[in-house]
Structure 1
Amino acid sequence: MTYDLPPALPPTATPADYSRIHFDPAAVPAKRIVGLLACQRDPLLRSLNSRVVAARPASDAPLAQKGRDRKKKGSEASSAATSAAPSGAATPTGKLWEVELEDTVIFPEGGGQPWDTGVLRVRDANGSEHAFAVEACVRRGLDAVHRVRVPEGSSVDFATLEGADAVAEVHWDRRRDHMVTHTAQHLLSAVLDAKGLPTLSWGMGQFPSIDAPYVELPRGLTWAEAQAAEEECNAHIREGLKVWIDVTMQGDNGEVRDDERAGDVEREFRGIPKDYTGGVIRHCNITGVDRNACCGTQCPDLSHVGFLHVLPPGTPHLSDTPSSTTPTRLYFVAGPRAIAHLQHASRELSRAGQAVNVGRNDLHERVAKIEANRFEQAEGAKAMKGELARLVADAAAGTPGSVVALHRAEKATHDFDFLSAVAGAWCDARSADTIVLTSAVPAAPPALLLVQSKDHDRAKAVFDAVKAALAGSDKARVKGGGARGRYMAKVDGKWGKGEAEALERVLAELRA
């Protein structure tokens, strides 16, 4: 048996049986708790006449979206975000107030879904209407708390607003993006769970981000598995499967009787926040596909999702081996975010094609060819550097002295691999001596230092002496170390005449 919660909400396209209350709501107070908010009972309702229950000054400190961007079984994750304002938006001015309403269409975040933003309309003492930005809405216990920005000099006195009529309006583009993404996540998680891949966590960036949300799975997928999951999800979307919410009292373990979900198995129960007591439990149902506890706003049917795309995983596209055997994020996009993601990807594809002077359809072939050529050239360069290293070592092998210094200033050979190759070849020819190699490219610090000898103790003594001479009074300038006859370090700052002279002095002392 289901019950109605009076007063009725304004009519929308949401079916009357979307929110199914399975307890007598006679004792439900006029101030709606989180779980029974208008935005949760009718996700398509965009504005609502309400009444101010409380208003108080708020902290100016920015709020962080709740949730975690890491796996934790038993909890849902949302992307971390520190402000409801879009990136690049001007810093808001005026005072923040916390406002509670009898009911609201502005969702206070939960279940991994970021909060809504919107507008609060109230009248001043003269009856003139004023609109104020709702920058965030958060849950505190059972209450939805709106953070409202009040400009300096406003004629509305929020300190005396309690009991006043108010109109709450949700920013629809943001709500739609979050809601569609959340419903798509439920669908994708249900499809994957049926394949033995339960969702460990999930996350989404808040609007207007076009970053792909994700579900975290016990292992990675192959391209074929990801494509199969996408096709199954889109088949359900094309069917326009019905979505509805069962609402029960918190702590009521009685079974909800509902013929529409007969045979469905509850996918998972994430648990509820510790500070949410005395409220309700909401289960989101997708006909024949899913039943899962959730406090977020969900589309009334899957046709609102429009399309879901699973981004290909990192494994090669023809491989039948999963991309990972450890917990891995699978990214997806749906609804408005899928369109924005497609537009962005299409433009980037065109730019990439222009960068290599081919059409979009030929980009993959051209990039594969470029990569093959790059690998071939890298192998050739590696062989040439090896040959050059031997030539340099042979030339230095005739230099007299027990400690030989060699300095280079070529960008192409400014790396420890080349210096090590030179040192190795030199030590093969001069097994009893020590070589000190330095490399410094003008205007491109740090310089490189390598000391090597088959006499391990001698190599360490030379390295320590050279390091101290180059560091001078700044002991942190030369960073590095080594073992077994090879020592390497980076020398911060510019390499100039002073460094060259300091090196020559210490080498002269070592040769004496």
Structure 2
Amino acid sequence: MTYTLEPPLPETPTPRDYERIHFNPAELPRKRIVGLLACQRDPLLQALTTRVVSVAPAAAPPLAQKGRAKKKDKGSAASSATGTGANTPAEQGKLWEVELEDTVIFPEGGGQPWDTGTLYVTEAGETHALVIEGCVRRKLDAVHMVRVPPGTRVDPTALPGTDVRVEAHWERRMDHMTIHTAQHLLSAVLDARELPTLSWGMPAWPATDAPYVELPRGLTWAEAADVEDECNRRIREARRVWIDFSMQGGASGASGAGGGESDDRENRGIPKDYTGGVIRHCNIDGIDRNACCGTQCPDLSLVGFIHVLPPSTPHAACAPSSRVPTRLFFVAGPRAVSHLALASRWLSQAGQAIGVSRAELVPRIEKIEAIRFETDAAAKSLKAELAGIVGAAAGKRGVVWIPRVEKSTHDYEFMTSAAGAWGAAGAEEGAVIVFTSAPPGVSPTLLMVQGKDEAQSKSVFEGIKNALDDVDSEGGKRVKGGGARGRFMAKVDGKWGKREIAAVQGVIDNFGQASRQ
């Protein structure tokens, strides 16, 4: 038996049997608790006239949500999500916590980010549009974070008992809702393959980043394509979705997704501080039944389609490359359109960058990679041969310095090979070879000192280190490093110029004079 909650909500395309209440709601207070909010009873209801219950100054702004904005874009996050363009608290105005009798603003939960929207307040015949920056759940209550700009002729403290109109930011809602419904479908399809969802995540609108489900193992490309095909087949069938409402701690009084007793992930993830409320079970006809507090599409056709992003397993592999918990990314609804449009443009740009059509891009990249591999191997062989020549040609007595200034990055492997060749070519016992690598525009400079006699090598290294530190007029320590067994390595901070070159040359000259005495 199902009941009707009075007063009824405004008419929308949502079927009347989407909301199935399995307890007598006659004794419920007029203020709707989280679980029975208008947005949870009719997900297609965009606006609602309701009454303000309480207003209080907000202690803090709503927390940033994952995917809402990059760190460098914090200043623009509110603008993107709520329509406000202010940059400082004084310009933004004061934030207030507002509770309503009912609301179309979803207060975050079940992995779904909160809604934003607008609160329309009429005073003295003038209507003011106040931005709802977020909505949070506090036990059974939905608390709206409402911004009142400076100069607005609205006294928030006088709003309790006043009728207002609340409207959801619909683009954000549809993005979140279609993804959430798609996640339920995807998890059900995966569950039937003995791949239970361990967790899931959704970056908040306006992010176009892909949400994910975490699975016990990775998938092959063939498995991912098969799952995607089944999901989209169910979407094309426009399978019905409905919500069963039951009192927390009581029997649900509802049938399972397939018409019998539920075989489901029913009560996963119910918050510990949610007590004395209602439990909502989301049903996808013949496919799934799962406890959920979020907003769900009335039928799967509203999802549009799901695209499961190819996993990191090599595309031709017959077995998954990972046997540990792995994230499977997907997109659905409006975000899928944006995501795939962006991917298509990237594909075209990549083709233009190497001068081929999109269809030829993969074979051309494979060919480029093969050529690069051969070139790298040849260059490595040639560099090793050149390092041997450089090392063998260096002086075999005293202190030898080989400065490197090639327009590249530091080549530690080259210096090591050259030093090895120098030693193998008959360097005398007390001889030391010094390498400095100072490519233009690259900092810090790399210093390497090597010799057969550890004490002599250390003495040369310390001499160069002290000389370079002395170049700094402020007396700072520019050279950081050390070593053992005849090899010493260090990085030299700051600019490498004529004074540094002269300092190193002075040390080498001093050791050369000492060796001749």
The two structures have a TM-score, normalised by structure 1, of 0.91
Using the TM superposition, name which of 152-161 and 43-52 deviates more: 152-161
Contact 2:62/2:134 (8 A) holds in 1:
no
Offset of residue 458 of structure 1: 4.5
Corresponding residue of 2:36: 36
User: Pick from 376, 395, 400: which aligns with 2:397?
Assistant: 400
Q: Structure 1: where are the runs of 5+ without partners?
A: 70-77
Corresponding residue of 2:161: 163
Alignment partner of 1:102 is 2:98: no
Alignment partner of 1:119 is 2:115: no
Residues 70-109 of structure 1 correspond to what in structure 2 (within 5 A)?
83-86=77-80, 90-91=85-86, 93-109=92-108
Offset of residue 484 of structure 1: 4.1
Offset of residue 434 of structure 1: 2.5
Counterpart-to-counterpart distance in 2, 1:395 and 1:413:
23
Alignment partner of 1:426 is 2:422: yes
SS in 1 for 2:97: strand
Supply the AA of the counterpart residue of 1:414.
H
Residues 13-24 of structure 1 correspond to what in structure 2 (within 5 A)?
13-24=13-24
Residues 398-477 of structure 1 correspond to what in structure 2 (within 5 A)?
398-401=395-398, 403-412=399-408, 414-429=410-425, 430=427, 432=429, 433-456=431-454, 458-472=456-470, 476-477=477-478
Distance 1:178 1:291, change over 3 A: same
Offset of residue 155 of structure 1: 1.8
| Structure 1 residues 182-203: Cα deviation after superposition (integer angstroms, max 9, x where no partner) | 0111111111122122112111
Corresponding residue of 1:7: 7
Aligned residue pair count: 499
Counterpart-to-counterpart distance in 2, 1:391 and 1:160:
87
SS in 1 for 2:16: coil
Contact 1:181/1:333 (8 A) holds in 2:
yes
User: Pick from 227, 237, 243: which aligns with 2:241?
Assistant: 243
Corresponding residue of 1:496: 497
Distance 1:22 1:219, change over 3 A: same
Distance 1:26 1:450, change over 3 A: same
Residues 60-459 of structure 1 correspond to what in structure 2 (within 5 A)?
61-65=61-65, 83-86=77-80, 90-91=85-86, 93-124=92-123, 126-252=124-250, 256-257=254-255, 260-262=258-260, 264-267=262-265, 269-396=267-394, 398-401=395-398, 403-412=399-408, 414-429=410-425, 430=427, 432=429, 433-456=431-454, 458-459=456-457
Offset of residue 101 of structure 1: 0.6
Contact 2:69/2:207 (8 A) holds in 1:
no
Using the TM superposition, name which of 425-434 and 223-232 deviates more: 425-434
Distance 1:118 1:455, change over 3 A: same
Corresponding residue of 1:56: 56
Distance 1:145 1:89, change over 3 A: closer
Counterpart-to-counterpart distance in 2, 1:476 and 1:248:
71
Contact 2:244/2:252 (8 A) holds in 1:
no
Contact 2:256/2:263 (8 A) holds in 1:
no
Distance 1:257 1:79, change over 3 A: farther
Offset of residue 443 of structure 1: 3.0
Offset of residue 507 of structure 1: 3.5
Offset of residue 488 of structure 1: 2.2
Counterpart-to-counterpart distance in 2, 1:118 and 1:314:
38
Offset of residue 333 of structure 1: 0.4
Offset of residue 312 of structure 1: 0.4
Counterpart-to-counterpart distance in 2, 1:269 and 1:460:
68
SS in 1 for 2:49: strand
Distance 1:349 1:119, change over 3 A: same
SS in 2 for 1:435: strand
| Structure 1 residues 245-272: Cα deviation after superposition (integer angstroms, max 9, x where no partner) | 1222222256644585415411364332
Contact 1:468/1:475 (8 A) holds in 2:
no
Offset of residue 399 of structure 1: 4.8
Offset of residue 468 of structure 1: 3.6
Offset of residue 464 of structure 1: 4.0
Offset of residue 5 of structure 1: 1.2
Distance 1:85 1:195, change over 3 A: farther
Contact 1:239/1:303 (8 A) holds in 2:
yes
Distance 1:195 1:454, change over 3 A: farther
Counterpart-to-counterpart distance in 1, 2:13 and 2:218:
39
The two structures have a TM-score, normalised by structure 2, of 0.90
Contact 1:97/1:149 (8 A) holds in 2:
yes
Using the TM superposition, name which of 240-249 and 252-261 deviates more: 252-261
Supply the AA of the counterpart residue of 1:505.
G
Contact 1:245/1:285 (8 A) holds in 2:
yes
Contact 1:85/1:135 (8 A) holds in 2:
no
Counterpart-to-counterpart distance in 2, 1:325 and 1:479:
43
Contact 1:117/1:136 (8 A) holds in 2:
yes
Using the TM superposition, name which of 451-460 and 161-170 deviates more: 451-460
Using the TM superposition, name which of 257-266 and 113-122 deviates more: 257-266
Contact 1:264/1:288 (8 A) holds in 2:
no
Counterpart-to-counterpart distance in 1, 2:414 and 2:231:
53
Distance 1:482 1:27, change over 3 A: farther
SS in 2 for 1:225: helix
Distance 1:413 1:247, change over 3 A: closer
Distance 1:255 1:465, change over 3 A: farther
Counterpart-to-counterpart distance in 2, 1:147 and 1:6:
27
SS in 1 for 2:119: strand
Contact 2:255/2:261 (8 A) holds in 1:
no
SS in 1 for 2:80: coil
Supply the AA of the counterpart residue of 2:80.
P
Counterpart-to-counterpart distance in 2, 1:478 and 1:140:
56
Contact 2:447/2:490 (8 A) holds in 1:
yes
Root mean square deviation of aligned Cα: 2.4
| Structure 1 residues 144-166: Cα deviation after superposition (integer angstroms, max 9, x where no partner) | 11111212222222110110001
Offset of residue 84 of structure 1: 4.7
Offset of residue 241 of structure 1: 1.1
Counterpart-to-counterpart distance in 2, 1:360 and 1:80:
31
Counterpart-to-counterpart distance in 1, 2:243 and 2:192:
21
